Structure 1
Amino acid sequence: MAEKVLVTGGAGYIGSHTVLELLEAGYSPVVVDNFHNAIRGGGSMPESLRRVQELTGHSVEFEEMDILDQAALQRLFKKHSFTAVIHFAGLKAVGESVQKPLDYYRVNLTGTIQLLEIMRAHGVKNLVFSSSATVYGNPQYLPLDEAHPTGGCTNPYGKSKFFIEEMIRDLCQADKAWNAVLLRYFNPIGAHASGCIGEDPQGIPNNLMPYVSQVAIGRREALNVFGNDYDTEDGTGVRDYIHVVDLAKGHIAALRKLKEQCGCRVGREGREGKETEAWTNGAQRGSKSSPRHGPCSPLWADLQPGHGHGLFGVTDGRGHGEGLGEEDPVQGGGPAGRRCGCLLCQPQPGPQGAGLVSSLRAG
């Protein structure tokens, strides 16, 4: 009988790709999501999961639920016998966390505490946690690795992820029956090879590639790239990217690792540092637009001059799935598609570190 795995926040970008990989690997995922960053499809099913069902030919069990609803979580765990939990649910915008810190601590911390308490009460002690590279704070050295100190976080979002990591570590230390893998993400990009599921954020995007895509299809006029005088190959900021399918497969590998009674393990999910303009150039084939220079309005994700390369969390590419034994990664040459308008702008003062995970904000 297929193992039942609870996936919180499983209707979102990374979650939906992971649910697809779970089904392909023979698991039986049960997904909960509150539609904070998901589109409703037919009936009560999120559109992303409806498409996952079509792609795999398998049904997905879904319940609309907020992890802050303790009574609903209790009912869910009484209904199902889970072998493990993959925990994505939470708020994730760096800039918004600076503006609404209490919301981030309430949702991310309180929600996770309630989830862990209910897991413990029902004897479910295997967890894969969606952490973030923001737990590293401003890098003390580059490339980053798992041994890099954590806790010097520069925003409430990163702090909430760091606090959760510490809670899970303490839990595993106090009760050796617990097993957890903490995956620190950098910037996921891309989509399933079918093109049927991908990143389609609700509201203002928090990552670079949705902006590139929206310019490519004409939804936005241009992509604003803040800063062109950093110490990089083309002068634009560097980000570390990972293909979302690689990331999803990494979760399956982490899930398998839990069976080895691994205790608490840490993994970095990032691969190759890439200049921002290089990505936009890679998406420019086949259109009439081209990069332009000009003024832009200051936004929270702008970076102060001089921080440049050091703020972007570039890794050496070895951390992805290290010790997890997953399959070879997706090998892609970058996003392909239409030529996109790209507006290069001078960086403006703003919260330091805001660009670590969230990439760019366009006007």
Structure 2
Amino acid sequence: MKKVLVTGGAGYIGAHAVVELINAGYEPVVVDDLSKSDRTLLEGVESITSRKVQFFQGDCGDTSFLKGVFEWAGPFAAVMHFAAYKSVGESVEQPLEYYRNNLGSLVSLMKTMKGFGVANLIFSSSCTVYGQPDVVPVNEETPFKRAESPYGATKQMCERILEDAYLTGYRVISLRYFNPVGAHPSAQIGELPIGRPNNLVPFITQTAAGIREKLTVFGNDYDTPDGSCVRDFIHVVDLAQGHVKALEYLHKSRSEKLFEVFNLGTGEGVTVLQLINKFIETTGVNVPYAIGPRRSGDVEKTYGDVSKANNILQWKTKYSIEESLQHAWNWEKKLRDIK
């Protein structure tokens, strides 16, 4: 059984990846500083898998802490790096924190990996690296435009770090994913914002649950079918399974040095207003909303060409947008004890 270090494994995407790693026969070891999460999702992972997950609480920017984890819990076959701040809006308000955390944690992690002879790295990147693209869908060859937010800029910079560093002996896959939504079909884990949500779907489900009075749609005057932003919404379980496929690809590759990028998405664009209406249609629950001004840092429209991941990783999405929204609502109802 191969050990995989999962940084940020107590968070939304990381926790779902931990489940899929266990399902695929790996032994994940989780590191998280719990600054943007708590132990709730790890408890859910253990409920789903009937497995105790080894967990270390600490900051990936702290090299001495990471060395301790590698010494105590290694050796590791690979690392999946999810530990980063991820809110576009928050990054506009706190740019220096985003640069410090997102860049510093990657550099510290890669130095520690090198010291312990670990070459395999799956990096959590983002479609925000493309900025506001001239043409959609974007593929892996689409040139980067200037990032629309500090968050997007950190992902661009991290990819440059990876591209420069892999030549010194790393085997890296950077997964540029679009907008993760939904929850595990068991409703044991899902998106769990600490305080105000950063993503759209938790705002929808919290408004549907009566936690929030109404949802604000940021802008209805974009050049899109209904004036709201267009995104590619991918079920978080599909996304997590993409990480396992990427890991399998690394294991099969014989290259001593490797750097590959893959888009992970559905390949379909959905507007914010369409998503709200799909939620109402799917669940039968109303979501009051109002139109607000555009939000700084938002890209007008983006969705992905995912044929490279389909062909090379042998990965395809399985869940529809309707299933994603139903699973997100089931998770919200469990959290709020709504029948």
CA distance in 2, matches of 1:153, 1:194: 36
Name whichever of 194-203 and 91-100 sits farther off.
91-100
- Residue 283 of structure 1 aligns to a residue in which SS? helix
Q: Does the alignment pair 1:35 with 2:42?
A: no
- Residue 312 of structure 2 aligns to a residue in which SS? coil
* Match among 196, 202, 208 for residue 194 of structure 2: 202
Letter in 2 for 1:214: Q
More helix by share: 2
* Match among 251, 257, 278 for residue 274 of structure 2: 278
Deviation at 1:319, TM superposition (A): 4.9
CA distance in 2, matches of 1:142, 1:162: 19
* Match among 155, 158, 180 for residue 161 of structure 1: 155
* Match among 207, 213, 216 for residue 208 of structure 2: 216
* Match among 58, 64, 85 for residue 65 of structure 1: 58
Letter in 1 for 2:64: A
CA distance in 1, matches of 2:163, 2:328: 45
Residue in 1 aligned with 2:332?
none
5 Å matches for 1:1-363?
2-39=1-38, 46-79=39-72, 80-150=74-144, 152-175=146-169, 178-259=170-251, 260-261=253-254, 263-271=258-266, 272-285=268-281, 289=286, 296=292, 298=293, 300-301=295-296, 311-326=300-315, 329-334=318-323, 335-336=325-326
CA distance in 1, matches of 2:316, 2:307: 14
Task: Identify if the C-alpha distance between structure 1 residues 165 and 122 changes in structure 2 by more than 3 Å, giving closer, same or farther.
Answer: same
Are the counterparts in 2 of residues 270 and 319 from structure 1 also a CA contact under 8 Å? no
Deviation at 1:331, TM superposition (A): 3.6
CA distance in 2, matches of 1:337, 1:12: 17
Deviation digits for residues 15-54 of structure 1, max 9, x if unmatched? 0000000011110000010112212xxxxxx110111111
Deviation at 1:171, TM superposition (A): 1.6
CA distance in 2, matches of 1:139, 1:248: 26
Deviation at 1:227, TM superposition (A): 2.9
CA distance in 2, matches of 1:328, 1:315: 13
CA distance in 2, matches of 1:72, 1:338: 35
Are the counterparts in 1 of residues 5 and 29 from structure 2 also a CA contact under 8 Å? yes
- Residue 104 of structure 1 aligns to a residue in which SS? helix
Deviation at 1:247, TM superposition (A): 0.3
- Residue 307 of structure 2 aligns to a residue in which SS? coil
Deviation at 1:316, TM superposition (A): 3.6
TM-score by length of 2: 0.88
Are the counterparts in 1 of residues 136 and 303 from structure 2 also a CA contact under 8 Å? yes
TM-score by length of 1: 0.82
Deviation at 1:212, TM superposition (A): 0.6
Deviation at 1:317, TM superposition (A): 4.6
Q: Which runs of 5+ in 2 are unaligned?
A: 330-339
Residue in 2 aligned with 1:345?
none
Are the counterparts in 1 of residues 232 and 270 from structure 2 also a CA contact under 8 Å? yes
Task: Identify if the C-alpha distance between structure 1 residues 200 and 301 changes in structure 2 by more than 3 Å, giving closer, same or farther.
Answer: farther
CA distance in 1, matches of 2:227, 2:294: 20
Are the counterparts in 1 of residues 137 and 302 from structure 2 also a CA contact under 8 Å? yes
Q: Which runs of 5+ in 1 are unaligned?
A: 40-45, 304-309, 340-363
Are the counterparts in 2 of residues 105 and 160 from structure 1 also a CA contact under 8 Å? yes
Deviation digits for residues 137-180 of structure 1, max 9, x if unmatched? 121222111000125222221111111111111122233xx211
CA distance in 2, matches of 1:290, 1:87: 35
